[in-house]
Amino acid sequence: MAYSGRARESYQNELANLRSQGLFKEERYIHAPQGAEIEVEFPTGNPPRKVINMCSNNYLGLSSHPEVVAAAHMGLDHRGYGMSSVRFICGTQDIHRELERKLTEFLGTEDTLLFPSCMDANAGVFEAVLSEQDVMIADRLVHASIVDGMRLCKAMQDTFKHSDMGHLEEKLVEHQDKRFRMIITDGVFSMDGDIARLDAIVALAEKHDAMVFVDDSHASGFIGKTGRGTHEHCGVVGRIDIITTTLGKALGGASGGCVSGRRELVELCRQRARPYLFSNTVAPVIVSGALKVLDLISATTERRDKLETNTVYWRKLLTDAGFDIKPGESPIVPVMLYNAKLAQDVARDLFAEGIYVVGFFFPVVAKGQARIRTQLSAAHEKHHLDAAIAAFVKVGKKYGILGLGKNQIIEKYGL
Amino acid sequence: MDELKKAIRDYVVKEYLEEGDDRQVGEDTPLITGGIVDSFSMVSLKRFLERKYSIQIPDAEATPQAFDTVNGIAALVTKFTKG
């Protein structure tokens, strides 16, 4: 054993630093399936209490849907628990390819490849299709998994100011000497909930001969009239070269992700993407559940329509009550508090009122941009949202923030 | 502020501050630890310096610490300009 006292002490100090900086993350134990109401043990050791969940990515309320659960059981019974293999040795079943075909059809692309997660898809895709001769130009607010994937790729990295089309065009012009340019963006940005201007991005890409990559994890299943995603919302279906997305949010919420897009790019991922080559196949039970999810949301838009209704209602409730929210259309609704301690205090008090939300602050969001991110679900009923706003108003009054704008909150609480 | 530092500061303001962001950038303003430039976006600053001053800054030297202030960046440019 070479885990010396010196090593232990050093790691203990690192953890103590995280605690003292307020950056230490603690899990909360949930004693129930995922849903609009869950039983949460917090602080650890306390009896679980029922709260309204306003912080999950269960956008369509399918995580515990009886038909999805039944389909998962069927998968377990007919295709087993695990495959004990990567995909290309002996880990590909008929249902894996069936799910890839259905995702291709749903997303309106040419082909799809499953990954263990969208984090893995993003980690592997850039290195598989780009080289030193190319450049990746990313929106500055893309998800951390994209940043990691870009770091693993030898192509030049560059960034443009968030959703700033003028700055993006400058970069496209600057990099005309490269073999390929790839514009990289989230479809819906996970912290602000705003939607990428994919119509403008695609127009610039076509003008300056660039490919377009979109991570649509916070959009697949519900953004756009039939829930295909941001490309449907922006009217550019068939014009996005690579879409990555997850099965871990709206599409059943278990795990798994994919790269979907141009046939050759997907095939290169199958040949070269390391997280695909060197990690286990997605479990049959998840594949079967996801197939049912696609059936359900292809048959009717009822669930995404309900999510949209809930989103409009919740945004109006918060605005009418005098909260400072990030405007937009997505079911990610950030309540801006700017000050990190205030965000944590408000989240704690809301939990005491039976509302489960989490405060986000630096380094997850920029300094001085602390917030509570609320997320809607089709599993929410009107009475959940009415109860939630009553609690928000009660806590908002306690801290005297109702009706205050950015500068007034900062004046009162500092940054 | 000499010409080199002014050029660096002007680039930082144009490249990294959003419209309406009125934060002042001085010679010692912490850029990376202060949240103005993130390490992900730092590459464009390095490339700007290399092009404008016809230098090569090795990746090992282009650390977030070295790039944290206009003064630090100017020192780095001077070091590699002198060869």
Span B44-76, pLDDT tens digits: 899 899 989 999 999 888 888 889 999 999 999
C-beta atoms of B40 and A147 within 8 A:
yes
Which band of pLDDT confidence, cut at 50, 70 and 90, is reported for residue B1? Answer: low
CATH 1.20.120.450 at B3-15+26-81, yes or no:
no
CB atoms within 10 A of CB A164: 16
In the three-class reduction of DSSP (H, G, I as helix; E, B as strand; rest coil), residue A258 is classed as strand
Instruction: Round the CA-based radius of gyration of chain B to a whole number and report it.
Output: 12
Q: Is A167 a catalytic residue?
A: no
**Chain B residue with the nearest C-alpha to that of A144:** B40
Cα–Cα dist A185/A139, whole Å: 5
Given A56, A190, A288, A330, which residue is catalytic? A190
Check if the beta carbon of residue A285 is closer than 8 Å to that of residue A139.
Answer: no
Q: Has A384 been annotated as catalytic?
A: no
Asked if A366 and B40 come within 8 Å (Cβ–Cβ), the reply is no
Residues from chain A that touch B41, judged by Cβ atoms under 8 A, are 140, 159
Contact A162 B18 (CB under 8 A): yes
Residue-wise pLDDT for A45-102, tens only, equals 999 999 999 999 999 999 999 999 999 999 999 999 999 999 999 999 999 999 999 9
What's the pLDDT score for residue A22? Answer: 78
Q: For A162, which residue in chain B has the nearest alpha carbon?
A: B18
- Interface test with chain A among B40, B48, B50, B51, by most A beta carbons within 10 Å: B40
* Predicted local distance difference test score (pLDDT) of residue A78: 98
Q: Determine whether A218 is an active site residue.
A: yes
Domain ranges of chain B: 3-15+26-81
Q: How far apart are CA B34 and CA A366, in angstroms?
A: 10
Locate the chain A residue with the closest alpha carbon to B40. A147
Give all domains of chain A, ordered by start, each with its CATH number: 30-59+302-413 (3.90.1150.10), 66-299 (3.40.640.10)
Is the pTM higher than 0.90? The answer reads: yes
Residue A258 Cα, gap to closest chain B Cα (Å):
24
Average pLDDT over residues A112-123: 98
